[in-house]
Amino acid sequence: MSTLVTYASNERVATITINRADRMNALNEEVIVGLQQAWRDFETSDDRVAIVHAAGDRAFSVGADVKDPPKEMWQGVPSVGAEVTKPIIAAVHGWCIGGAYCIVQMCDLVVAADNTRFKYPEAQLGFTGGLIASAVARIPHKVAMEFMMLGEDFDAERAMACGMVNKVVPAGEELTAAQAWAATLANSAPLVLATVKQFSMATMNKSPAEAGAISRDTLLTVRNSEDGKEGGRAFAEKRTPEFKGQ
């Protein structure tokens, strides 16, 4: 795994950390690919709950690195770039901008430091990946449209009031608060948690961008598979391919 994203396991709780504080945890290709691998590792591990947070004290993440943007931002988003059937808690502080908010909105629970400021400025910058539109399935429609269209900051209290976060705590205490919830979840019935999450995800409509990203992930898996490589080699070598379903 990338050094910019670390995975630690303790008492069936996975802690996934974005480690790019010098760049305010901006999301570049290495971070996004690292997050995608972390979600995959979590799904196949014995850990029962994951916490995602970020290093430093200025930002959870300022979103895509404008100097080194990721190729496919959606790959780092849980349940989009990788299937995750277990609960995820986001522990957020400081700035949480653009694509970083897309990661947070796909988490099941969110603990925010009181210095957190959410922002989605894409309409004022002239581009979007569209994944943010899933917000209308998670918070009130009018609030989601305000957040997506106006590009104005939502502080922690406003985010709490409109359902973007579950709890607001003093800055520096967000990880501890998330760990307390994670301990409860780690000792809860895994089958119940997975069922509740599965049914909840099935209840919420997916935006075209979210559904498209999930489909693209499946297609990329096929393209990058050993069978995909074998088909290309066999064609070049003019022989019958030997597929293994891998």
Domain count, the chain: 1
What SS3 string covers the chain? CCCCEEEEEECCEEEEEECCHHHCCCECHHHHHHHHHHHHHHHHCCCCEEEEEECCCCEEECCECCCCCCCCHHHHCECCCECCCCCEEEEECEEEECHHHHHHHCCCEEEEECCCEEECCHHHHCCCCCHHHHHHHCCCHHHHHHHHHHCCCEEHHHHHHCCCCCEEECCCCHHHHHHHHHHHHHCCCHHHHHHHHHHHHHHCCCCHHHHHHHHHHHHHHHHCCHHHHHHHHHHHHCCCCCCCCC
Query: Is residue 190 domain-resident?
Result: yes
229-241 pLDDT tens trace = 988 998 899 999 9
Q: What CATH number corresponds to the domain at position 167?
A: 3.90.226.10
146-176 pLDDT tens trace = 999 999 999 999 999 999 999 999 999 999 9
Percentage of the chain beyond pLDDT 70 is: 100
28-69 pLDDT tens trace = 999 999 999 999 999 999 999 999 999 999 999 999 999 999
Query: Is residue 246 domain-resident?
Result: no
Q: Please check the confidence at residue 1 and state whether its pLDDT lies above 80.
A: no
pLDDT-derived band of residue 113, with 50, 70 and 90 as boundaries?
very high
Query: Is residue 243 domain-resident?
Result: no
- Structural domain of residue 124, as residue ranges? 5-237
Mean pLDDT across the chain, nearest whole number?
95
Q: Please check the confidence at residue 214 and state whether its pLDDT lies above 90.
A: no
What pTM, to 2 d.p., does this model score?
Answer: 0.91
Query: Is residue 242 domain-resident?
Result: no
